[in-house]
Amino acid sequence: MTVENKGLLESLSVFATTLVGVAHTRLELLSTDLEEDRTHLFLLVVQYLIAAFFLVVGFVIAIILIVFVLWENHRLFALSLTAGFFLVLGFGIAGYAMYKSKMKPRLFSASLSELAKDQQALDSR
Protein backbone atom coordinates (compact mmCIF):
# COMPACT_ATOMS: atom_id res chain seq x y z
CA MET A 1 0.00 0.00 0.00
CA THR A 2 1.42 3.34 -1.00
CA VAL A 3 1.53 6.49 1.06
CA GLU A 4 -1.09 8.12 -1.19
CA ASN A 5 -3.56 5.26 -0.67
CA LYS A 6 -2.97 5.30 3.06
CA GLY A 7 -3.64 9.08 3.17
CA LEU A 8 -6.83 8.64 1.15
CA LEU A 9 -8.08 5.83 3.39
CA GLU A 10 -7.26 7.87 6.48
CA SER A 11 -9.15 10.88 5.06
CA LEU A 12 -12.15 8.68 4.26
CA SER A 13 -12.02 7.22 7.76
CA VAL A 14 -11.97 10.69 9.34
CA PHE A 15 -14.80 11.80 7.05
CA ALA A 16 -16.90 8.74 7.97
CA THR A 17 -16.26 9.30 11.67
CA THR A 18 -17.30 12.94 11.35
CA LEU A 19 -20.40 11.98 9.39
CA VAL A 20 -21.42 9.41 12.01
CA GLY A 21 -20.85 11.99 14.77
CA VAL A 22 -23.01 14.58 13.01
CA ALA A 23 -25.77 12.03 12.40
CA HIS A 24 -25.62 10.94 16.05
CA THR A 25 -25.89 14.52 17.28
CA ARG A 26 -28.85 15.24 15.01
CA LEU A 27 -30.68 12.08 16.10
CA GLU A 28 -30.16 13.03 19.74
CA LEU A 29 -31.61 16.47 18.97
CA LEU A 30 -34.64 14.90 17.27
CA SER A 31 -35.13 12.62 20.26
CA THR A 32 -34.99 15.59 22.62
CA ASP A 33 -37.52 17.47 20.50
CA LEU A 34 -39.92 14.52 20.59
CA GLU A 35 -39.53 14.06 24.35
CA GLU A 36 -40.14 17.75 25.06
CA ASP A 37 -43.21 17.84 22.83
CA ARG A 38 -44.64 14.66 24.39
CA THR A 39 -44.11 15.96 27.93
CA HIS A 40 -45.57 19.37 27.05
CA LEU A 41 -48.65 17.79 25.49
CA PHE A 42 -49.23 15.45 28.44
CA LEU A 43 -48.99 18.25 31.01
CA LEU A 44 -51.27 20.43 28.92
CA VAL A 45 -53.95 17.74 28.67
CA VAL A 46 -53.82 17.02 32.42
CA GLN A 47 -54.10 20.72 33.27
CA TYR A 48 -57.03 21.18 30.88
CA LEU A 49 -58.85 18.17 32.33
CA ILE A 50 -58.42 19.38 35.91
CA ALA A 51 -59.50 22.90 34.97
CA ALA A 52 -62.49 21.57 33.03
CA PHE A 53 -63.64 19.49 36.00
CA PHE A 54 -63.60 22.41 38.43
CA LEU A 55 -65.17 24.77 35.90
CA VAL A 56 -68.01 22.37 35.20
CA VAL A 57 -68.74 21.91 38.90
CA GLY A 58 -68.65 25.66 39.48
CA PHE A 59 -70.87 26.43 36.49
CA VAL A 60 -73.45 23.81 37.43
CA ILE A 61 -73.71 25.21 40.94
CA ALA A 62 -73.93 28.78 39.58
CA ILE A 63 -76.69 27.83 37.13
CA ILE A 64 -78.69 26.09 39.83
CA LEU A 65 -78.36 29.17 42.01
CA ILE A 66 -79.44 31.57 39.25
CA VAL A 67 -82.41 29.43 38.25
CA PHE A 68 -83.60 29.04 41.85
CA VAL A 69 -83.26 32.75 42.57
CA LEU A 70 -85.09 33.86 39.40
CA TRP A 71 -87.52 30.95 39.02
CA GLU A 72 -90.66 32.63 40.33
CA ASN A 73 -90.72 35.72 38.12
CA HIS A 74 -88.07 35.36 35.38
CA ARG A 75 -87.54 31.68 34.59
CA LEU A 76 -87.14 32.17 30.80
CA PHE A 77 -84.72 35.03 31.36
CA ALA A 78 -82.62 32.92 33.75
CA LEU A 79 -82.44 29.97 31.36
CA SER A 80 -81.73 32.22 28.35
CA LEU A 81 -79.01 34.08 30.23
CA THR A 82 -77.20 30.91 31.31
CA ALA A 83 -77.52 29.29 27.85
CA GLY A 84 -76.18 32.42 26.16
CA PHE A 85 -73.31 32.60 28.62
CA PHE A 86 -72.27 29.02 27.87
CA LEU A 87 -72.54 29.51 24.11
CA VAL A 88 -70.34 32.62 24.21
CA LEU A 89 -67.86 30.90 26.51
CA GLY A 90 -67.75 27.78 24.31
CA PHE A 91 -67.14 29.75 21.11
CA GLY A 92 -64.51 31.88 22.84
CA ILE A 93 -62.57 28.87 24.11
CA ALA A 94 -62.80 27.15 20.72
CA GLY A 95 -61.43 30.27 19.03
CA TYR A 96 -58.59 30.54 21.53
CA ALA A 97 -57.70 26.86 21.08
CA MET A 98 -57.55 27.32 17.30
CA TYR A 99 -55.32 30.38 17.75
CA LYS A 100 -52.96 28.50 20.09
CA SER A 101 -52.72 25.52 17.74
CA LYS A 102 -51.74 27.80 14.85
CA MET A 103 -49.13 29.68 16.93
CA LYS A 104 -47.31 26.56 18.19
CA PRO A 105 -43.81 26.20 16.72
CA ARG A 106 -43.28 23.46 14.16
CA LEU A 107 -42.27 20.05 15.42
CA PHE A 108 -38.49 19.51 14.97
CA SER A 109 -37.91 23.22 14.32
CA ALA A 110 -34.62 23.19 16.29
CA SER A 111 -33.45 20.08 14.44
CA LEU A 112 -34.38 21.54 11.06
CA SER A 113 -32.48 24.75 11.77
CA GLU A 114 -29.39 22.76 12.83
CA LEU A 115 -29.59 20.66 9.67
CA ALA A 116 -29.88 23.84 7.61
CA LYS A 117 -26.72 25.17 9.29
CA ASP A 118 -24.94 21.89 8.51
CA GLN A 119 -26.02 22.12 4.89
CA GLN A 120 -24.77 25.71 4.62
CA ALA A 121 -21.45 24.71 6.16
CA LEU A 122 -21.06 21.87 3.68
CA ASP A 123 -22.07 24.09 0.75
CA SER A 124 -19.49 26.73 1.68
CA ARG A 125 -16.62 24.22 1.50
Could you read off the pLDDT of 11-58 as tens digits, one per residue? 888 887 888 788 778 778 888 878 888 888 888 888 888 888 888 888
pLDDT value of residue 107: 65
Give residue-wise pLDDT tens across range 74-103: 888 888 888 888 888 888 888 888 888 787
Query: Which range marks the domain in which residue 63 is found?
Result: 3-124
- Total structural domains within the chain: 1
Could you tell me the sign of the dihedral formed by the alpha carbons of 71, 73, 75, 65, in that order?
A: negative
pLDDT value of residue 111: 67
